[in-house]
Amino acid sequence: MSERPGYDDLREYVAQVEKLGALRKIDAADPYLEVGAVTELAAGTADCPALLFDNFKGFAPGFRIFTNATTNVQRASLALGIDPNLRPLEALKAWMQRRGTLKPLDPVSVTRAAFLENSDRGEAVDLGRFPVPHWHRKDGGPYIGSGSLVVMRDPETGWVNASIYRAQVHARNRVTIQFDHMGRHGAIIARKYWSKGRACPVAVVNGEDPALFISGFEYLPEGASEYSFAGGIKQRPVEVCDGPITGLPLPARAEIILEGMLLPFDDQSLPEGPFGEFTGYYANDARPAPVMDVTGVHYRNDPILLGSPPMKPPRFHFGLPFRAASIWSNLEMAGVTDVVGAWQHVSQLMTVIALRQRYDGHAKRAALIAAANSYMGRLVVVVDEDVDPSNLADVMWAITTRSEPSESVDIVRDAWSSALDPRIPPDMKQRGVTSHSKMIINACVPFAWKSQFPHASALSPEELAATEQKWGRCLRPE
């Protein structure tokens, strides 16, 4: 069941999370390492609560940080307007179906914006006033942008891009923006300005609502609007207001916004990073990154910085693996029938497909398509329909009882990875290598003698769901 998300901004979402009993409030933490450490500790616990930090050590009161916003299934569902009580696979299926029919809604312009309640410009700009976290011990510095939208406008088409890129604070009015690689939409737009000897107008939006946060991570095609996609999620348009310095359309109810110019990379850069990545490693040493000259900072009263630092798997930004839903859709579009589920574990580095085998080669066909669409993932596992792909213990049971290593494993070479991959040797990265191999494990019952395979003793997924519906309340704490 899907419904319209009941929030218009980040603080309304925080209130909804608190109403669910999933919020913990933390007082007097130090932005230097403690905020990141408590965030990681909480993300690794069974209930994985969201955190609202306040009253920071060494900083004036009135600034807050919200972390673990969507790191479990319940809160990811809440952000998407999906019933937060659904089981993980049911929630992902509900999102996949809604994602396939989602109707983008164009943003609407307003003249008054909450982010302009306070505005510092020119010499008054001082990012040191904000408790910007130094998330991991070996990070190159504090990062105000770990879950922030970077907004830019294409000078040729007028298209506004609002994607997630990280932003490191270097001085009171200087941050770097890291695009990861020059094929990113933001990097392409910036180069169009730089090629003409111009700086690129840019805004960094910190403290956007969860629909915008999710949209910023989506792989939308060139020309598509993250604002419109977020409007589709919320089923009402995002309100935007022109930034007073850049003229860029900015989310009117965002918490903290930096405006300024991204200076031509050939003229000026600063060493950015290292930064702890979602793989659980520091993938690169410090590298030159373009510099943003921050000429204005706008913020609401008692602003909330949305923090979403990458952490060691299985901790991840989202409790629902959105890209698994895309792979599931890809399989169906390719004509692979009877897929009953898809999931990604280890921060999307392991993809699992569950299907009802109809013919010999069915599982391998699904696996090859999933492997082709698994970004950075080295493992692709296919299981039968009685295995819950969202339950790693269930998946490992299938691997250890239904696969035969000498027969059930295939290797695909030169497949899709990234420069963030810690297993690619440094010398190969320097030569531009960003590919790796992927292992496919067929953990399905062998199709040729499926009828003779021993029957499983456990409840079927349907029996388990029926039992939970009738008796589950008796098992939950009072």
Percent of the chain with pLDDT over 70: 99
Give the pLDDT confidence score for residue 51 in this predicted structure: 97
One-letter-per-residue 3-state SS of 406-437: HHHEEEEEEEECCCCCCCCCHHHHHCCCCEEE
**475: Cα within 13 Å, side-chain hemisphere:** 6
pLDDT tens digits, 73-90: 999 999 999 999 899 999
Instruction: Give burial (CB, 10 Å; 0-12/13-18/19+) of 476.
Output: exposed
Give the pLDDT confidence score for residue 1 in this predicted structure: 46
Structure tokens at 463: 């029996």
Tell me: pLDDT of 309 over 90: yes
Domains in the chain, please, with CATH?
Answer: 10-307 (2.30.110.10), 322-475 (3.40.1670.10)
pLDDT tens digits, 393-414: 999 999 999 999 999 999 999 9
pLDDT tens digits, 376-386: 999 999 999 99
Which residues are registered as beta bridge partners of 153?
Answer: 160
Tell me: pLDDT of 277 over 80: yes
Q: Lowest-pLDDT range, 40-44, 195-199, 280-284, 322-326?
A: 280-284
Give the pLDDT confidence score for residue 432 in this predicted structure: 86
What pTM, to 2 d.p., does this model score? Answer: 0.90
Tell me: pLDDT of 248 over 70: yes
Does residue 144 sit in helix, strand or coil? strand
Contact, 55 vs 27, CB < 8 A? yes
d(CA 34, CA 153): 36
Give the pLDDT confidence score for residue 230 in this predicted structure: 97
- 207 phi-psi bin (left φ>0, alpha ψ -120 to 50, beta other): left
| Residue recorded with tokens 């890129």 | 165
d(CA 229, CA 224): 8
Tell me: pLDDT of 4 over 80: no
d(CA 118, CA 303): 10
Contact, 124 vs 298, CB < 8 A? no
Tell me: pLDDT of 2 over 60: no
What secondary structure does DSSP assign to 287-336, as a single string? EEEEEEEEEEEEE-SS-EEEE----STT--SBSS-HHHHHHHHHHHHTT-
pLDDT tens digits, 142-192: 999 999 999 999 999 999 999 999 999 999 999 999 987 777 899 999 999
